[in-house]
Amino acid sequence: MLEGKAEENIDNLKPKMKTLDSIKDIPMEPYVIIMAKADGEFTKLHYRRNGETTTINRYGHWRTDFPALNELTQALDRTNVQEAEILVELYAVDASGYPLILPNFIHAIKGSDKSLLERVHIGVWDLVSVNGVPVTQDYEWKLDELKNWLRTAEGHRLERAYVLPHIIFPSRAEHDKSIRDFWNLWVKISGYEGVVVRTASDIYKIKPIRDVDAVIIALNKVDSTGHPTKRWVEEKVSSVRVALMDQKQTFIELGDCTIANPEIQSALWKLHDLKVSEDHERIYVKPLVIIQIQYTSAFEGSFCKRWKYHNQYVEAGSCAFFKLRNPRFMRFRSDKKVCPEDLRLEQIKDGE
């Protein structure tokens, strides 16, 4: 894979989406398109028949020559298209094709293990221009055109580059069961992070919402790529490591939780006063502060560290547990105690 930096900014191409709490809230409009939403990197793909096909993200980082992109390029070379700009989501999947969370994509695309590039998929969801001309046809036409392009020579769907799963309803009221079936298949079973809903007037996103109470055990000094967090130099904490507790009062790492509110970021900086140890990635603090975390789903099978705490954290092996998708800070839980009852593992059951 080749990569580099460019001056191009694609933020203007990202749709402004409103948030709905449930599929029950989808507006009763005559025309609705529902598409599975992957947890990946918003990207513009630029195909050139006689040049280099590249992807560029919102930070101006361009990439070319990786398996999914090469597969897509070969498919478009079989069409009459000379040039096209396509909006896609780059994301990672596991060995069975199950969609993974954004940090897994970052690890696959940036890691030293180049075999992980095989796990990067391209989820196609919009067509911007063809042969230098903006596409003005309706969204259904775009999806049909893209699906026709992205096929093998035998007419089958490509393995790593394809239009994201979607369904089109002439009338939402007539298809409530089909909407539920779509949600169950692609979100609950297949692992996509939610859905995007397009009506004649608006675009919405819907994600499953769950919550869990966990205790903060560390302040993260680096992000998921290992680089110092941008807020750290401002004495703000943008991410914390949290844990639950089993019946033996052993802490089970749940993972990291993002803190978006600047005021909360500043407040958490004061946890330096509870510091018990430090390494190059994080500052470990006394397990006193419990927070409520909102997340969209949980993945089973991850091995999480176990810690004993007696004025210091002592690693006590690992155990199979869950990792959270899209964890976000909701509020402090001063009404909760650091005990197996309030931090029980059973808060997360079967990913729910």
| pLDDT number for residue 351 | 46
CA quadruple 28, 33, 38, 44: dihedral positive or negative?
Answer: negative
List, for residues 59-68, the tens digit of each pLDDT value: 899 999 999 9
Cα dist. 185→29, 167, 188, 215, 221 in Å? 23, 12, 6, 33, 38
Which backbone phi and psi does 293 adopt, to 5 degrees? -115, 135
Residue of 53, 45, 44 lying closest to 73 (CA atoms): 53
- When pLDDT is averaged across residues 145-150 and rounded to a whole number, the result is 96
**Rounded CA separation 281/305 (Å):** 15
CA R_g for the chain? 22
Q: Which residues, in sequence order, are bridge partners of residue 252?
A: 244, 306
Give per-residue pLDDT as tens, 312-327: 999 999 998 888 888 8
**Within 13 A of 265's CA, how many CA atoms are on the CB side?**
19
Residue 64, Cβ density class (10 Å: 0-12 exposed, 13-18 middle, ≥19 buried): middle
Length of the chain: 352
Domains present along the chain, CATH in parentheses: 2-206 (3.30.470.30), 210-347 (2.40.50.140)
30 CA to centre of own chain = 30
Q: State pLDDT tens for residues 32-62.
A: 899 999 989 999 999 999 889 999 998 899 9
Maximum average pLDDT range among 81-85, 96-100, 168-172, 348-352: 81-85
What 8-state DSSP symbol labels residue 158? P
